[in-house]
Amino acid sequence: MPVLRIEGDEFTLDGEPLRILSGGLHYFRVHPDHWRDRLRKARLLGLNTVDTYVPWNLHEPRPGEFRMDGGLDLPRFLDLAAAEGLHVLLRPGPYICAEWEGGGLPSWLLGIDPGMRLRTSDERYHAAVDAYFGALLPRVVPYLGTRGGPVLAVQVENEYGAYEADGEDTGHLERSERLEHLQHLAGALRAHGVDVPLFTCDQPADLARGSLPGVLSTVNFGSRAAENLRALRAHQPTGPLMCAEFWNGWFDRWGGVHVVRDAADAAAELDAVLAAGASVNLYMLHGGTNFGFTNGANDKHTYRPTVTSYDYDSPLDEAGDPTPKFTAFREVIAKYAPVPDGPVPEPSRKLGLLGVPLTAVAPLADCLDRLGGPPAVAGERPLTMEELGQDFGFVLYETVLATAGPTVLSVEPGGVRDRAQVFVDGQPVGVLERENHDRALSFTVPRAGARLTVLVENQGRVNYGRAIHDRKGLVGAVTVGGVEQAGWTSRPLPLDDLGGLAFRTPRAGAPLPVGPAFHRGEFTVDEPADTYLDLSGWTKGNAWINGFALGRYWSRGPQRRLYVPGPVLRPGRNEIVVFELHATAGTTVDLRDTPDLGPVEE
């Protein structure tokens, strides 16, 4: 059995020294039909291990409802890794960060009790974690190295030393409370039969706050390898040195630029890690995609949602094709470990098809009862997504305005989570954005009894820091003309079932709908292949092909095209649906054979 042990300053496997050469590969960000290909390329790079998080929010979308099918079939992913001769580092959370929606914590935690303190020893939080582990771990234990499986080690929590649940002061959480929380998680792992080595990971300055006695500490960084490994050694005088996240790239946010890192610079830093005798995990080997509504966000001082692509400027790009970093890293790894013979893999074939017409339209206002979501809920105030039992998508709020004339709609600070489009009698009157700290909007009410509609988009729950307690929708009081508005309906729009939409084809020359609408078209392919959906001329929204949720688009950029995995397409007729929130300059889209993640920083 391939059992990993910690002996002195080394990892050993079956008694032989082992340097872990790993790469991050998140199964939930990759189409399952591509898992085998990406794992094979990990081995061809010279890696002996892959690393993956486990997203609690997808595996348990509702309390007690556990999923492990399709793209969430973790056992199949582990089987494929083993078949490729790769070990696995498993990072089950419960918190994962990963620039993932809510850091992987399910949104329903925020609806259990407003006072629940996430990522602490709060009994309510631990009860939910225990139930999650109780569903997940029995499915994972057979894949541990001690059972003959590929899983070498399991992580406890994730960068816990950086977490502050309340307050502004660094490290305000008492050491005893931190230990209690980490000990509970480690104890739960052990109680469910996880008998391989456990480890924590933290940034260098956070090692003391995030470590757990008796558990291996590892460090995360992207540069200054010698300095940061010395910090790890000062914190942990004995034990293997390991960089659990070597940041060879970075993620992008809407409104920013596409972040890239020079391949030669990253390779030189990787060389410094390996020259020090350390083990390493590339973050990322292959980033993949935040399909659907799964991107996270950061909110240190200003809310910043992450884009759909998680390309991460990795050795394997979003489509799994080798980048210059693949070759540069392979050359470095070859200095320290055997690398399989053979050339660098060739890029996969891509599909191009221009001018796909989207001629059928379904205005959102005309199809609210056909979207398959829960019914609207009446109340004196707007309800949050979590109160509605909703995780992703939109909420549509409506109320009646009693008085005609000029007025001002106002929300509490931080009350828009995250982007609100406002309509009066169906006509758009403005947008409030959390990112811009917007709180008020002026408009004229045309008549007494006019209907006020507010469509609020969850653009991604915060995945890092104190702001992970991130409820969505309209949060707090809403005033109109200085008076708190009462008498609302709150309608969840998860957009997880578009099958009931009734599309119509407008007559030639007719204007397109004002406001949010679904647009549908068809195209034919002979041989499916990866492609990129180009929505130039469209403003903001979401796209699906054959019912598969590709993710969000936004003319704000930097990302300009959405990655379409080849397995999503089928020979013959294919369907595309675009949900445009504002307006489009035309009614066609393109399928391109190259990506466009936007301009890079000069």
For the stretch 358-382, what's the b/e string if a residue is b when 16 or more beta carbons lie within 10 angstroms of its beta carbon? bebbbbbbebeeebebeebbeeebb
Rounded to whole angstroms, the Cα distance separating 439 from 158 reads 34
Which of 440, 386, 388, 389 is CA-nearest to residue 411? 440
Q: What is the DSSP string of 261-272?
A: --HHHHHHHHHH
Two structure tokens written together for 149: 């499986």
Pairwise CA distance, residues 103 & 118, whole Å = 11
180 in active site = no
Which residues lie closer than 8 Å to 509 by C-beta, 6 or more apart?
A: none
Beta partners for residue 541, in sequence order: 553, 580
* Phi, psi (degrees; rounded to nearest 5) at 8: 65, -125
**Token representation of residue 430:** 């403005």
**Distance of alpha carbon 9 from alpha carbon 532, whole angstroms:** 47
* Helices 74-83/35-45 angle, 10° precision: 40
Regarding beta strands 419-424 and 427-433, do their DSSP bridges make them parallel or antiparallel, or are they unpaired? antiparallel
Choose, from 245, 386, 387, 457, the residue flagged as catalytic. Answer: 245
Nearest CA-CA partner of 383 in 457, 459, 467, 491: 491
- DSSP letters, 69-130, are -GGG-HHHHHHHHHHTT-EEEEE--S---TTBGGGG--TTHHHH-TT--TTSS-HHHHHHHH
Q: What is the DSSP letter of 507?
A: P
Q: What is the DSSP letter of 352?
A: -
Residue of 60, 84, 101, 159 with catalytic role: 159
* 3-state DSSP percent of the chain in helix, strand and coil, to 5: 25, 30, 45
Is residue 7 among the annotated active site residues? no
CA distances (Å), 305 to each of 103, 107, 254, 463, in order?
Answer: 13, 17, 6, 10
Positions marked active-site: 159, 245
